[in-house]
Each structure stands twice: as C-alpha cells, then as structure tokens.
Structure 1
Amino acid sequence: MCGIVAIFCHAGSHRVDRNELRLIRDHMARRGPDGMGEWFSPDGRVGLGQRRLSIIDLSETGAQPMSNEDGSLWVVLNGEIYNYAELRQELIAKGHVFRSRSDTEVILHLYEEEGIEAVHRMRGMFAFVLWDGRENKMLAVRDPFGIKPLYYAVDQGVVRVASQVKALIAGGGISREIDLGSLVGFFLWGSVPEPRTIFQGIRAVPAGSYIVVAEGGPSAPVQYWHPRKSYLGRQNEQKTREDIIEETRQALLDAVKYHMVADVPVGLFLSSGVDSNVLASMIAETRDTPFDTITLAFEEFEGTNLSETAFAKETAERLGARHHQRVFSEKDFCQSVDDFFAAMDQPSIDGLNSFFVSKAAAEIGLKVAISGCGGDELFGGYPSFVTVPAMNRYLGFLPKSEILASAYERIGGKIFFGRRKEKFRGLFRFGPTLDGAYFLQRALSMPWELDLFLKKDALNEGLRDYDPLPDVKFHVDRSLSTLENVAILDQAMYLRNQLLRDMDWASMWHSLEIRVPLVERFLYEKIAYFAMRSYDRRRYKWLLAQSARPELSGEFIRRKKTGFLIPVEKWMTRLVGENLVEKKNVSRKNWALFCMRVFMENAGVKDASRVLLT
C-alpha cells in the first residue's frame, strides 16, 4: 500500500516541476511512512513518485519507482498483487530475470509479455502508473472494483495522476474550483458519484478501467471489467444446491488464502456479523498460527443488544485468535474529529466506522487488516434487495406521467411525516422504473430538497450538469433479473462511491492497509451468479453462513444486523449544534451539510459561501 504520483508533460515545451511532484507525493506521507522515491525521465517530461508502506518484500529492492532491466519501463504501484508469486515463477520460466521479491516488479515483466492485457492476470487491489519509454506513453490503471483510488487532472499539455484528490490540490497546479454537478451529486447520494470529484479539474480513473496518455493527450477511460460480467451469459448453467454450497466455500477459502499473503502480520476486523465471522473461521482454517482480531466497543452500548463485543470475543476465543477490544467514547470522537476531517479525501457522510477501527488496529501495531466489507453486495444483505424489486413489481405497471408524479408529490407533502416523508413523495416519480427505484432507495435527498443546502444559482447550474438517473442506467443490463441488477448497482455505486473510497482514506490516515476478500473479480466470476440465484430474503446470507467450518449458529444468522454501528446521532448533535437542516435531531442531511462545510474549509475552498447555505 502506498501513495503514488505521476506527471507527464505530453505537449509543448513543459517540463515536470520537481517541487510540485514532491509536494503531491509528500502530502501522502501517511499512506507511506516507510520510504519515498522518485524518478524523472532524461528529457524532464515524465516524473514518478511514491510514498511506501512496506507490506511485501520489506527490503530496499522493493522500493519504487521501479524499472525493468533496460530502464524502458517504469512503474509505481499502490496496492497488492496477491498472486504475484505464481506469476513470478511463470515469468522466470519464460526467461525473465527478477531483482526483487516484490509484486511491483511482476507488473513490469508481465507487461513486457502481454501489454495492457496483463491486467486480466492480476489478482489483487491495485492502482498503478506505468511509463512505457519504448512507445512514449503512460498508462494509469485501476483494479476491477476500484478498491484503490486513482485520480487525474488534465491541464494545458500536462497530465497529473495521484492516489488522492487533496494531494493533487496540494501540488499547487490544480484549481480548487468546486464542480457544482458533483456538489449536487453529493447531496443527492451522500458521496460524490464517480468518475466525478468535488473539484472541476480532477476526475477518477473509473474502477476496472485505464487511461493511456500519449503525445496527443489522455484517452477516454477504457473499461476492461465490470461486475455485470459475472452474471451475463450464465442463465443456462445448472448446479445442485450441494454443488453451489461447496463451490462457494472453496472459492471463499481461495480468496482468503490470497488475501493473507504478506511479509507482515495480517489482522481481522471482527464484529458480530456473518461476514467477518465467516472470514475469521476461514483464516483460522488456512493458518497454523494465531492471528489478531479487533472489535470496536462503545460506552453508550454497554449492556445493550447493540454491543458486538460478546459475540466477537466468543468467536475469537473459539478460533484461538489474539483478541483486542477498543472502547471508544464521545470524548474520543471529539478528540479525533479534526483528524477525521483532515483525512477525508472527498466529502462523505460515512467513514467514521472505518476511521475508528483503523485507528484501533494501528494502535496494536498492525499494518494490514482484513474487512468483511462487500458481503452484503455479493450475498444480498441490504434492504435494497427487497425494496427495489418490490417497487418494480408493484409500481412498474404505472404509465410514466409527470402529472401523476407531481400531483402525488404535492399531496404527499401534506400527508406524510417523518424521515422518509420525501421518499414517499417521490414514489410515483421514481418507483416504477428500476433506475428510479434504486435511486429512491439509496438517495440521501430528493432533488426538490436541495434548496436546503445550496443557493439558487449554484443549485440550478448543478442540476443542469448532473442527473442521477443516467448514472444508475449505465450499470443496468435489461437481460438480467431485477435482483441481479440491484446487486450490480450496489457493487458499482454504493460499494465503490461510498464504502471502498471512505475505507481507503480513513485507513491510510493511520498507515493501515485494509483488504477485502469479498470484493474480488476472481471470486465474483466463480460465485456471484449463484449467490443471487440462491438468494432467500427469509434466510439472511445463508450461503455465506454455510461456508464457515463449523457452520455459524442460528443465533448469528438471526441476529439483527448492526455492523460497526456507531452512536453518531448523539455525538453529532453536540458537534453540529444548531446548524440544522431538519430541526429536532441531527439527521444524515444535517451531517452532510456539516461535512461539506468542514471539507471545503479544510481544502482551502474560498467560495464556499457562494454555493452553500449557511
């Protein structure tokens, strides 16, 4: 895990500003406290930099930027290639000579053999930039699910790439102008929808995509993989229930084994949920030595059924793990909140859970931790798997009518109350279509609520620039079932834009790498289709639960889902104070406005008052 930066002056007489590259690189020092490096091409047009968090090959031979034997290829990598050892042996058999034991060097030699198609051989989470001096081009590549971030900015013949948005801003060469469409997207979803960022001049390399920068400038992103590929063309496959259970178990065991590859200890975030308990059992099954488990506890939850400590401790003891319990209080929250917002790389209403559990892991000396994130998207653990198909089923017959939708919204504004009032008002406008129903389920706010956050001119311009429904439609495939499409949407939108992005910046503030075995292309291509085919709303993630040995008890499976629940409403009430969009309590909408204000202030945005209501 690292922080990487690349600058390519592809046009004109520009040369890399070495000071800018170092400012971008060193803004990411927390991503890589173990070392730093840089390389500049002889003509001064290309520069690569890296901050290193040593996980695989801890020696100096694993330092980056790294080149091939003749120096025609250079690469910087953020992340891990878990199957690097077998790829390395394959390449050695073909005559390639290695100077290190690192996964980074494997990328260079695999690219020599296969070019950009090499990306399909890599099992891992990664974002890398490769300079090909033979063809005078730069490639910026991101893993299939976008677990690792990668951003780029194009300006007057210069392309800048980095692991963090704020790092690009820190270099001084990118404008801090806010993207109003992204601002609207944030208040609609609770996160900025990819490939947008909150800044006009910066975009994300989309998950499962790469860009090529040559003399003529950057290409449009080229998509090489999408979660829908795991579901397409499999409708005629037939397997028995027993075969599905066994193949799922073996695929999960395989994923866990690969995610434990490291030259440093690997721990596990352990809650009372099915996901982390299955992973714990599989780690124990594949290892002969004890491993560390970390559980968050909260003073407010002591003695209640919201506490996860008893279940987690029981699992850890049964598996022989070294269990660590970290108790957090409101005082801890208040003392950490400045760091939390400093860490936040893009505005989000989430991330507190990842921030605190990563802090707990770092405090016991871990560099790597396993998370159960992704289990709900793969095995159907969210309410969206029930509500979206239901809306589609019961409202799908309605004709699309602006008159009907508007009338219902007016009436609903008078008869509905509570937190879901606005979503009930939007039922006839959005509910009848798959894309609309998904937006209704996942949205933070309805479009007509945005005047709670944004001034009129900014709101109107932002709405002209961003419409959430095309974003949703992009990921939908009509040849698949509604349930499969909901899974794909949660994987390609909520998981990517919120959970994985927040997990990255929240953990890297503490110099911790989080790995997610349940979010992996190779796993998906084996079991995703059958996970949805076996979905049963009455049996919560039963297929995953049955993969543990011994199988999880009925008590685990029946227990109400809590995850890393945090008593944020109580804490936020004191933090946010009277700056409330909705009076009486601190809702997610109030928190969103507060987060955006603090983010803009921290990012040095000077015109926040021009767009945000105060």
Structure 2
Amino acid sequence: MCGIAGLYRFDGRAVLPHELQRMSQAIRHRGPDDEGFYREGPVGMAFRRLSIIDLSPLGHQPMTNHDGSLWIVFNGEVYNYIELRDELRSKGYAFRSQSDTEVVLAAYEEWGDGCLSRFNGMWSMAIWDTKKHELFCARDRFGVKPFYYYRNHRHFVFASEIKSILQDPAIPREPEDEVVYNFLFEFKRDYSHKTFFKNIFQLEPGHYLKISHNILTIRRYFDIDMAAEAEPADDPTYAKQFYGLLEDSIRLRLRSDVPVGSCLSGGLDSSAIVCVLNQLMLKDGIDKTVIGNRQKTFSAYSDMKEVDESMYAEKVIEKTGAEKNTTLPTARQLAYELDRVVWTHEEPFGTTSIYAQYCVMRMAHDRGIKVLLDGQGSDEMFGGYDQSLYPYLSSMIRKLQWRRFLNEIHTIETNGKKLSFGAKITTALGALPTRQASRLRNYLILNFENGIHRDFISAMGATDSLVSVTSSDLKTSLYHDFRLVLRSLLTFEDKNSMAFSIEARVPFLDYRLVQYVFSLPDHQKINSGGIRKYILRNAMQGIVPDMILKRRDKIGFATAEKNWLNEGPLRDKMMDIFHSKTFEQRGYFDYAAIRKKFKSLPQLRHEKIYINFWGCFHLEMWLRKFIDGRA
C-alpha cells in the first residue's frame, strides 16, 4: 500500500525533479517508509512506500523489469501473487524480490492488460512502456484504491490523491456544480468519473486507460455478471459454499510481513471477519508475526445509547478472546481537528460517522498496526440497508401479491423494524416504472425545505436528479448500491486509513465471493420476514454470537451526531459558518432556511428535517480550504 503520482507531457518537454518532489510530498502520509522517482524526458513518476510485503530495499519503486523497458508505480496488494509468481516462473521469468509489485510487472509484460483479470486484490497503478512510449493505468475491480487524474492538451497528471495533482499551480481550482448539486440534493458522491473539482476525474472501478501517441482511451475490463445463476441448492449448501469463499478470502488477506488487526463495530459484517479469523487461528496456526498471540480489534464507541454498539463488540471479544482497543470520538475533538479532517478527505462527506472511522485508524496506528481488515461491501451485496427492503417489498406489489405483501409488512414490524411513512412511499414508488418513479420521488423531495438555493436548483435542471434511481427489483437495486454507494465508503476508508499510514483490506470484496453472491437467488439475501443478509447469518451459525446474528438494525461506526449538532463547540462552529457572508453568497445554499432550522434544531428533535446540516457545513469548509484558500 502506497501513494503514486506522475506526469506525462504531450509537448515533449522534460519533467523537472521539483515537480515530482512536490507531488510526492503532498502524499507523504500514504508512504512514510521510502520514496522514489523516475524521469525520462516528458514522463515522470513518484512513489511513496508503505512497506507491507518484502520490507527489503528490493521492494523499492518505481520498479523496472529485467531489460528496463517497463517502469511501474503500484499502490495496493495482489494477494495471489505467490501463485502468479510460480506460473510466471514456469514461463521463464526470474524474480529478484519477494514483492507482489514485481509479479504485477511481469504479468503485464506477459499478458498485457489481460493480466488484470488474473489479479485477486486491490490496486491502482501506472506502467510506462519505454519502447512503445505508452502509459498504462488501471484501477481494481471495485475501486478499493483510488486513481485521480487531470488532462488538458499539454499534459496528463495522475495521483492517489487530488491534493498531489493540485501541486501544479496551473491547474484551475473550480467546484464541479453537478457533483455539488447531487451531494446537496441526495447526499451522494462518487457516482461517476467526476469529482468535486472541475476537470479532475477519477478512473472508475474496473477500468484501465492508455495514452499512446498522445491519445487517451479508457476501457472497462470488469463488470459483475448479472446473468450468472448459482446451481440450485438448499440453505445449508449455499451457506457452506459462501463460508468457504469468505474463509479463503480472509486467509489470502493475511499475507503480510507486518502486523494485521481488525476493525470491529459490533455489526454482523465486522464480527464475521473477526470470528472467522479466530477460527483460522485455531485451525491453521497462523504466523504469530502477523496476528500475534491474540487478534487485535479496534472499535469506536459512542456515549449516545441509540448508536452505541459496544455491547455487541464486547460479545465478540468475549467469544474470541481478542484484544480490544476502543476510542470514543467527541464533538469537541472533531471541532479541534476539523481543518485536518477536511484536508485529509479532499472532498465533502455527508455524515460525521466518517470521523469515527478516522479515530479508529489513528488508534490502530498508535498501537503499531499497519494493516487492518474491515467489513466494507457486505451491506451492498446482501441488502443490509433499510432501503434494500423497498425493492424487496415493491416487487410483491408489481406481482399483485397483496396478501404476501401485507404479511411481510406485519412480520417485519412485529420483529421490531417499524417502517416509516417515507419507507412505505418509497416502496410504492418502486412499483412504478423507473423513470416515472425517479421523477416523482425527486418532485416530492423538492417540495420540502432541503437547504438548496432555488436558483441553483433551476440552473441544474430542477426536478431531474442526475443520480436518483428507484430500482424495480432487488438484484438491480443491490447492483446499484454496489456500484455507487460502496464507492464512497471505499473512498472514505482509503482516506482515513492512509492518513495514518495504514493499509485497509476488505475480505468481502474478493471478486470470487462478490460474483458468487450476485449469482444467488434473492431469498438468500433477503428472506421471509425481511431478514437481511440471510446467507451470511446462516454461514455464521455457531461462529458469531447469537446476539449479533439476531440483530435487525444497522449502525456501523456511528457518532452522536444529533447531540453534536444540538450543543457544544461543533454547533458553535457551524452556527458561525451558516451566518457568514461567504456562506450566504455562494449561490448553493438556501441560507435563510438553514439558519432558521438550525437555530431551532434542539426543539425539533421529533420533526423530520430534510436539510443535511453537516453536509452543507462541510461543503462550505471544503470550498474555503481548497477553492478559496488554495490549500
């Protein structure tokens, strides 16, 4: 895991050393162990190393092949590099190091862009071919690792983080209004190649790009096969097959030459990883230099009872005997660190829960951990969110299965999941054709005070949101969540972990496991009575504590955001921002409505609010730091 950056000039002018050094320094936190540079005429690449596999100098990057014709900078891990190395050796390749990067380079030399389909892991990379004068860049299947770029008629600039690209003072800093609009309107981001910065893009997951003869082409090399169907089987068989894939994914992601720990929220996903890893420790005798005598877990607790999961995390600790490490994020702490958090993330995010993860990563760093396992991806595959129930239920309306629909509603609410009026409206919308449902949904939202300036709404196309989707079936809805919702979460995870020089690994995103889950029938994801993550619950019987298997709520590393916004230093800071002249003059915000509602927020505890106060606040802080202040 590392940081990469580079520059390719189309006019033939040489890349200068100080240009690469500035880009490298901006992402030093991603790789404090080593740095390296490569320059050849109009091409330059910079690298920051976080040593994880093969800690020797042989893992130094940029790395070249045997004849110096290929040069690579690589961020991430290819977990099956040992098996690929053996295959390449049989073809005559020799290796100097034990690193996966050298295997990646040889794989590209042997198979070209076809090598990507052979990799099991996470990556962003750039390879310069000195013979063809061709630049090849690629990002992993699901977007675990980031790849940003800027291009004009003079040059192409890329990096692991936008702040590295912005080291070029000639690159304009303007907000991308379409992205700002969709963030304010639906709290969504990372839904396309666009970022909050106009003309700075991200290479989308499952894509690669090539620049040859100054012509840039982008192609998709991977997508989930939505037509694939698993062989029909009973519940125990499905559960056994799934468990085997998850266990192997975790085993592969323990390949490391530095200590590995696990995030533990107390939810089903992280608990499953910690408990399966515990089973592997008992069964396989995992190398103690990787895990230690006891597995180390890292959790964020809350002093707000409704979002605190400590009692569930404690059950996992009790069952596995793992070492627990906990942190308690506070509003005062966030208010104090706000400037650093805004700089770390580079783009606005819509909830303070991201800060809880930030605190967890810092704690792991302070305990000497360089690799953390985490549970991202499970909710999007298995229908773990509340909204996943809507397409599940709406399909019954479309099929006129009224008795089944009413029975499901009754069972879901009997089991403690009260469906709100809004949830029922969304379910009804899902029974409509997608386009009409999307328009109607947006119309309803826009008729509530949402904090967006009406002139900005009109300029952006009023009621036709660019990312609003009401999926008509469960499988399509989960695919939508997996492609769009998950991308933001992976971006947050990367920024939070790398801020503290930690590599985050996500076992649920092994491509074999993902494809298997999407091939399963819907009832293995959401079963009768609205039981979400059905196959995961079955697979974890006897492994994860029953108290967690029976949970029906979804929290994650949440914060006491409601309390934080009602009183204290964070509220004071937000109040100052909302009443500032700069905020008023942006043209994005309905500042009068925001001021009025935010002032009376402590008295509106039971009233539904359609303004994302934190999102508006963070957007303004981002504008000040990156657009106005030129951070």
Secondary structure class of the residue paired with 1:546: helix
> Percent of counterpart pairs with the same letter?
27
Other-structure match for 2:332 = 331
Distance 1:332 1:215 in 2: 51
Please report how far the alpha carbon of residue 244 of structure 1 lies from its aligned counterpart in structure 2 after TM superposition.
0.7
Other-structure match for 1:321 = 322
1:67–1:74 contact (8 Å) kept in structure 2: yes
Indicate which of 530, 539, 555 corresponds to 1:538.
530
2:316–2:545 contact (8 Å) kept in structure 1: no
Other-structure match for 1:521 = 511
Other-structure match for 2:227 = 232
1:6–1:161 contact (8 Å) kept in structure 2: yes
Please report how far the alpha carbon of residue 65 of structure 1 lies from its aligned counterpart in structure 2 after TM superposition.
0.7
Indicate which of 530, 541, 551 corresponds to 2:543.
551
Secondary structure class of the residue paired with 1:328: coil
Per-residue displacement from partner, 1:75-120 (whole Å, max 9, x unpaired)?
1111111111111121112211111111111111001111000000
1:255–1:517 contact (8 Å) kept in structure 2: yes
Other-structure match for 1:54 = 51
Other-structure match for 1:499 = 489
- In the TM superposition, structure 1's runs of 4+ consecutive aligned residues that sit over 6 Å from their partners are 420-431, 438-441, 448-451
Indicate which of 480, 488, 511 corresponds to 2:479.
488
Indicate which of 84, 91, 94 corresponds to 1:94.
91
RMSD in angstroms over aligned alpha carbons?
A: 3.0
Other-structure match for 1:308 = 309
After alignment, is 45-54 or 191-200 more displaced? 191-200
Alignment of structure 1 residues 118-517 onto 2, 5 Å: 118-192=115-189, 193-219=191-217, 221-227=218-224, 229=225, 231-234=226-229, 237-287=231-281, 288=285, 289-298=293-302, 300-301=303-304, 304=305, 306-350=307-351, 351-391=354-394, 394=397, 432-434=432-434, 446=445, 452-454=451-453, 456=455, 458-463=456-461, 467-469=465-467, 482-496=473-487, 498-517=488-507
Other-structure match for 2:560 = 567
Taking structure 1 as reference, are residues 436 and 83 closer, same or farther at Cα in structure 2, changes over 3 Å only?
Answer: farther
Distance 2:463 2:62 in 1: 38
Distance 1:513 1:527 in 2: 25
Indicate which of 610, 618, 629 corresponds to 1:595.
618
Q: Is 1:78–2:69 an aligned residue pair?
A: no
Please report how far the alpha carbon of residue 74 of structure 1 lies from its aligned counterpart in structure 2 after TM superposition.
0.7
Give the aligned residue type for 1:547.
Answer: A
Please report how far the alpha carbon of residue 320 of structure 1 lies from its aligned counterpart in structure 2 after TM superposition.
2.6
Distance 2:113 2:345 in 1: 32
Q: Unmatched 5+ residue regions in structure 1?
A: 398-419, 608-614
Taking structure 1 as reference, are residues 58 and 488 closer, same or farther at Cα in structure 2, changes over 3 Å only?
Answer: same
Taking structure 1 as reference, are residues 85 and 167 closer, same or farther at Cα in structure 2, changes over 3 Å only?
Answer: same
Secondary structure class of the residue paired with 1:564: coil
Distance 2:443 2:63 in 1: 43
Secondary structure class of the residue paired with 1:5: strand
Please report how far the alpha carbon of residue 163 of structure 1 lies from its aligned counterpart in structure 2 after TM superposition.
0.8
Taking structure 1 as reference, are residues 605 and 462 closer, same or farther at Cα in structure 2, changes over 3 Å only?
Answer: farther
Please report how far the alpha carbon of residue 206 of structure 1 lies from its aligned counterpart in structure 2 after TM superposition.
0.6
Secondary structure class of the residue paired with 1:36: strand
Taking structure 1 as reference, are residues 445 and 151 closer, same or farther at Cα in structure 2, changes over 3 Å only?
Answer: farther
Q: Is 1:20–2:19 an aligned residue pair?
A: yes
Taking structure 1 as reference, are residues 437 and 369 closer, same or farther at Cα in structure 2, changes over 3 Å only?
Answer: farther
1:62–1:100 contact (8 Å) kept in structure 2: yes
Q: Is 1:65–2:65 an aligned residue pair?
A: no
Q: Unmatched 5+ residue regions in structure 2?
A: 286-292, 401-419, 579-593, 603-608
Please report how far the alpha carbon of residue 283 of structure 1 lies from its aligned counterpart in structure 2 after TM superposition.
0.8
TM-score when normalising by structure 1: 0.85
Please report how far the alpha carbon of residue 430 of structure 1 lies from its aligned counterpart in structure 2 after TM superposition.
8.1
Please report how far the alpha carbon of residue 551 of structure 1 lies from its aligned counterpart in structure 2 after TM superposition.
3.5
Please report how far the alpha carbon of residue 328 of structure 1 lies from its aligned counterpart in structure 2 after TM superposition.
3.0
1:15–1:45 contact (8 Å) kept in structure 2: yes
Please report how far the alpha carbon of residue 600 of structure 1 lies from its aligned counterpart in structure 2 after TM superposition.
1.1
2:209–2:219 contact (8 Å) kept in structure 1: yes
Taking structure 1 as reference, are residues 440 and 325 closer, same or farther at Cα in structure 2, changes over 3 Å only?
Answer: farther
After alignment, is 76-85 or 523-532 more displaced? 523-532
Taking structure 1 as reference, are residues 170 and 449 closer, same or farther at Cα in structure 2, changes over 3 Å only?
Answer: farther
Distance 1:326 1:123 in 2: 33
Distance 1:601 1:178 in 2: 11
1:146–1:500 contact (8 Å) kept in structure 2: yes
Query: What is the count of residue pairs matched by the alignment?
Result: 565
Distance 2:161 2:277 in 1: 31
Secondary structure class of the residue paired with 1:97: coil
2:228–2:519 contact (8 Å) kept in structure 1: no
Distance 2:227 2:501 in 1: 38
Distance 2:261 2:439 in 1: 36
Give the aligned residue type for 1:517.
Answer: P
Taking structure 1 as reference, are residues 328 and 181 closer, same or farther at Cα in structure 2, changes over 3 Å only?
Answer: closer
After alignment, is 161-170 or 61-70 more displaced? 161-170
Give the aligned residue type for 2:627.
Answer: G
Please report how far the alpha carbon of residue 282 of structure 1 lies from its aligned counterpart in structure 2 after TM superposition.
1.1
Distance 1:461 1:306 in 2: 38
